[in-house]
Amino acid sequence: MNDTVLLRLQEVEKDFAATDEGGRLQVLRGLSLEVKPGETLSIVGPSGSGKSTLLNLIGALDLPTSGEVFFDGENLATLSDAELALLRNRKIGFIFQSHHLLPQCTVLENVLVPVVATGAASSEAVERGRRLLNRVGLGERLKHRPGQLSGGERQRVAVVRALINQPRLLLADEPTGALDRRSADNLADLLLELNREEQVALIIVTHSEELAQRTGRALTLRDGRLEEAQ
């Protein structure tokens, strides 16, 4: 694994308006974190602990109230909206509990959505999409639509879509939460295998202790701070 730091959070705090009278709710408190290229990390914690808020900051979807977030050497607070959008598209892949596939599009078309967002899909991108879909066992489903797939198959399509632009970091927010035990185990296997094959750092937010134990590091978000999982 590379010793270079891919992601760094320094004394990050995040709060939100809590009442009409101007009160504030502090969700993250002086939180610091470093993630290296190719690393696997899980973050667990009770509902409402701020896991999704943290993932939004890491994924450049939001900025902290105070503190700094650096990705690939860049301070996210110094980037324009257009630069942040390009960073999210090219360097970060997102997987959610709900797959968010477009029902009117085929499997291959769904995978290519992040590519066509910035222009027409090249022949190389199409070939990469086909290759990855074949890799995850969906090579015979290229022309199927999401409604013709099982829940586990739809999540595999979402994984390939997240990887299509060869991101440096893959963020997975409860990726197995809507799956049965067997599909969840299969998806966990796939994510960890692709982490090694694609050399992409992987951060998983999950309620599953079993999934968390399979990553290189497991952290718990408690009282707005990260600590090593017990």
* CATH code assigned at 106: 3.40.50.300
Question: Residue 66 domain-assigned?
Answer: yes
User: Looking at residue 73, what is its pLDDT?
Assistant: 92
Question: Residue 105 domain-assigned?
Answer: yes
Question: pLDDT 10s digit of each residue in the chain, 230 long?
Answer: 456 999 999 999 999 887 666 678 889 999 999 999 999 999 998 888 889 899 999 999 999 999 999 999 999 999 999 999 999 999 999 998 888 899 999 999 999 999 987 777 789 999 999 999 999 999 999 999 999 999 999 999 999 999 999 999 999 998 888 888 998 899 999 999 999 999 999 999 998 888 999 999 999 998 889 988 76
Which stretches within 59-173 are classed as H helix? 81-91, 107-111, 113-116, 123-135, 151-163
Amino acid at position 138, single letter: L
Question: Residue 80 domain-assigned?
Answer: yes
Question: Residue 97 domain-assigned?
Answer: yes
Question: Residue 2 domain-assigned?
Answer: no
User: Looking at residue 226, what is its pLDDT?
Assistant: 92
User: Looking at residue 200, what is its pLDDT?
Assistant: 96
Question: Residue 73 domain-assigned?
Answer: yes
Question: Residue 96 domain-assigned?
Answer: yes
Yes or no: say if 10 and 17 are a contact pair by the CB < 8 Å rule.
no
Q: Which of 169, 194, 185 is nearest to 36 (CA)?
A: 169
Question: Residue 141 domain-assigned?
Answer: yes
Tell me if the pTM is above 0.95: no
By CB neighbour count within 10 A (0-12 exposed, 13-18 middle, 19+ buried), where does 28 fall?
buried
Which range of residues forms the domain containing residue 118?
Answer: 7-228
Tally Cβ neighbours within 10 Å of residue 117. 11
Structure tokens at 122: 């090249």
The total number of structural domains in the chain stands at 1
Residue carrying structure tokens 């891919």? 6
